[in-house]
Amino acid sequence: MKRVETAIVIGGGIAGLTTALALGRLGIDVKVFEQADSLREVGAGLTVWSNGMYALDELGAAQDVLKAGQVVESFRFLDEAGQVLGAVDLARLERLVGQPSVTIHRRALLHALAQVLERTVSGCSIHLAEKFLRYKQDGGHVAAYFESGSVHEADILIGCDGFNSLVRKQVLGDTDRNYSGYTCFRGVTEFPEAEIPRGAVWHTNGVGTQFGLLHTGAGQMAWYATANMPSGVIEDAHERKDYLLDRFGSFHELVPRLLGATESSAILKNDIYDRSPIYKWSDASVLLVGDAAHPTTPNLGQGACMALEDAAVLGRAVKGGGSVEDIFDRFCKRRMRRTSFVTRSSRRAGAFNQSENQWLLKCRDKLTAALFKGGSMPTIDKIMGYKI
């Protein structure tokens, strides 16, 4: 049986770089193709929960990510007035998994992953400004065609090209995307170090809205704010800031201060979509990974963590040997139940948290207080306390 010797990875995001790391560490010659002219991520923060850090540790990247980010020291749920409703027992989570949870600026995460790749893998090259168009398979080889006119061949091709993946489109055809009914604004701002609750991730429940602040280290705070609205509205940056200041003006004082401190031009907006879980991620020598395979809403902070888990599991599957079909089969069997559970749980959490029904909101706040009374909750253990 032929060993996998060469791989093409489409997309140089979180899934792409960690997949390259997982394959490169096994001695596979990996070429990463990214459509942008630099490796870049949007200016926002991210939580890599313990389960994601566990996967990063297996890939030899946990320490670098830890250094570039901030260990989460308090994860609290608050009401609009700033009253604490509950908290996640982070020490317990760390004991379960053996890794802390970390908040990090997305750019810093991508930079750390690129550095680990460069330092630890010799057979990996990154090709920028290369937009993938399609693939063609023939006799156990796959050829990738790019907008630039270049064509590259390898034993396998891994689609890490995100939500609007062209690799996915070719593997599966058109698949439905679901608009959640809410949008998410995000930003990052410098904030006086003395006023930053060190290692804080504080999530505030509102009426049809959620506001989260994340201390990402080095005097920086990242935040997110959700609101129920149709997709495609409030696209102007200045309008966004006015809208947010008005909508969140009555929240506990850190919220309007953070919004006020953020440059209008640094406020991002993403209408929140996911796709229903599907049970086919491969086509012979082609496989989907990360958001290309199982895009989820951000309610549980797990999209990137799932991509990290995918990369480590793919590394294990390749190490296990066998035909490409066997390898991809093993990967899918290990990942499908887990990722569909996370996608569905996240969708449900979003519907609940975005509710505007007063009775349901009272239940939500009471439930949060009751569930997190001892600091732990079975769902947190199952999702964030998971070891691949």
Q: List contacts with ligand FAD (CB under 6 A).
A: 10-16, 33-36, 46-47, 52, 131-132, 160-163, 166, 184, 186, 224, 270, 290-292, 298, 301-305, 307
Q: Are 334 and 286 in contact (CB under 8 A)?
A: no
Question: Cβ closer to ligand FAD: 222 or 254?
Answer: 222
- In the complex, minimum distance from the CB of residue 16 to ligand FAD, in angstroms, rounded to a whole number: 6
Give the span between the Cα atoms of 101 and 4, in whole angstroms: 34
To ligand FAD, the closest distance from the beta carbon of 233 in angstroms equals 17
**H or E stretch at 105:** strand 102-105
Which one, 85 or 305, has the nearer CB to ligand FAD? 305
Taking the least distance from each CB to ligand FAD, the nearer of 43 and 301 is 301
- The total of other beta-carbon atoms located within 10 Å of residue 388's CB is 17
Which positions ≥6 away from 188 have C-beta within 8 Å?
43, 44, 45, 105, 216, 220, 221, 222, 223, 262, 266
DSSP string spanning 214-234? EEEETTEEEEEEEEE--TT--
- Nearest 10 degrees: CA dihedral of 276, 281, 286, 291? 40
In the bound state with ligand FAD, the residue whose beta carbon lies nearer, of 87 and 369, is 87
Helix H or strand E segment including 75: strand 74-79
For ligand FAD, the closer of residues 24 and 303 by Cβ is 303
Query: What is the C-alpha separation between 169 and 224, in angstroms, rounded?
Result: 30
- In the bound state with ligand FAD, the residue whose beta carbon lies nearer, of 230 and 321, is 230
Cβ 36 to ligand FAD, closest distance in Å?
5
CB-nearer residue toward ligand FAD: 348 or 373: 348
> Which 3 state secondary structure label does DSSP give 243?
helix
Residue (12 or 199) nearer to ligand FAD, CB: 12
User: Strands 141-146 and 132-138: what pairing?
Assistant: antiparallel
Find the shortest distance in angstroms from Cβ 48 to ligand FAD: 6
Q: How far is the CB of 23 from ligand FAD (least distance, A)?
A: 15
Tokens of 132: 């993938």
293 is written with which tokens?
A: 């395979």
Q: Residue 197 and residue 276: Cα distance in Å, rounded? A: 37
Place of tokens 């090209």: 161
Q: Which SS3 state, helix, strand or coil, does residue 286 take? A: strand
By beta-carbon proximity to ligand FAD, the closer residue of 14 and 200 is: 14
Shortest distance in whole angstroms from residue 1 CB to ligand FAD: 29
Please state the closest distance from residue 37 (CB atom) to ligand FAD, in A: 10
Cβ pair 167, 157 in contact under 8 A = yes
Residue 331 CB, nearest distance to ligand FAD (Å)? 15
User: Would you say 268 or 369 has its CB closer to ligand FAD?
Assistant: 268
CB of 86 to ligand FAD, least distance (A): 19
**CA atoms of 246 and 226, how far apart (whole Å):** 14
**Shortest Cβ 34–ligand FAD spacing (Å):** 5
Burial of 320 (0-12, 13-18, 19+ CB in 10 A): exposed
